[in-house]
Amino acid sequence: MNYLKMFFMNGTKTAGRITHAFYILLRVIVTVMLVDQIFQQNMGNTFLLLLTLVLFEIPYLLEKMLKIEIPNMLEIIIISFIFSSTVLGELSDFYGYFSMWDTILHALTGFLAGGVGFSLVYLLNKNTKTMNLTPLLLAIVSFCFSMTVGVMWEFVEFSADHIFQLDMQKDSLVQQINSVELSKDGNTVHSIPNIEQTIVEYKDSAGNTEKYVISGGYLDIGIIDTMKDLFVNFIGALTFSIFGYLYSQNDYRKFTFIRNFIPRKKRESRTERRKASSK
């Protein structure tokens, strides 16, 4: 019974009642779906649901390894983001049903990653004598950290698509293409406008030539999705960097809502303080 309680309620040590209740709700949903997918022998979905349960441990592991305290608001957003991207996005096909779903999640990623980057530099800035960054530099480092996370994630999507033959970088239909490869000269850009369909010729496993018609335009295989993701990540990162700058510029007295998104240094318990003083 204790193991079940730990499994469904496990969160950070600073998690409040609402956060614990949220963990229980999401873990119950994922567990029920997991059992269903196991019975259906759908190994792909089973793996994704198991991965979701593992990812739910990220806030707990971050607190333990980095010796920080994650605000309840940030913790709820992190586990909601994981649930929204794996269970809702991939398994429930929210990416297909809602065209803005992927955009919203990437904008949120940029904002959250900006908060993590800001907090890491902020903690170093406060606890070391050799660093004394201005609010502007704090904001710039926060922005760069967030954009780096966004770029690394696009590397993950690209690798997954090419190694495991997935489709994480979603395709788009375009009605015009511009390319040097289409030019007879080889050094000028040639355009093909008003594309209505694309015909793909390929050989099947038996060696027979087959044709596949893509209606509506030319199929772009990921570059538009990648650039859109990076652009909305940029917006999220820039938004947090601006608020982070204003927060630190005003000596942390204004824009205090930012604290809900910034992990802070772990406060020592009385026992830990006694051990430190006795050394």
Q: What is the pLDDT along the chain (279 residues), one digit of tens a residue?
A: 555 555 556 667 778 888 888 988 999 999 999 999 999 988 878 888 998 898 898 888 888 887 888 889 889 998 998 999 889 988 888 988 888 898 899 999 899 899 888 888 877 777 666 667 788 998 999 999 999 999 998 998 888 888 877 777 888 899 999 998 888 877 889 899 999 999 999 999 999 999 999 999 999 888 999 999 999 999 999 999 999 899 888 867 777 888 888 888 776 555 544 554 455
Q: How many domains, in total, are found in the chain? A: 2
Q: How far apart are CA 193 and CA 152, in angstroms?
A: 34
Q: Mark whether 54 and 191 lie in a shared domain.
A: no
The answer, as to whether pTM is greater than 0.75, is yes
Q: Which amino acid is at 223?
A: I
Q: Mark whether 132 and 216 lie in a shared domain.
A: no
Per the structure, the complete domain to which residue 105 belongs is given by 2-168+222-278
Q: Mark whether 136 and 198 lie in a shared domain.
A: no
Domain-terminating residue out of 184, 203, 220: 220
Q: Mark whether 128 and 179 lie in a shared domain.
A: no
Q: Mark whether 126 and 41 lie in a shared domain.
A: yes
Q: How far apart are CA 5 and CA 260, in angstroms?
A: 27
Q: Mark whether 53 and 121 lie in a shared domain.
A: yes
Give how far Cα 171 sits from Cα of 85, 109, 191, 226, 265, Å.
18, 21, 20, 10, 42
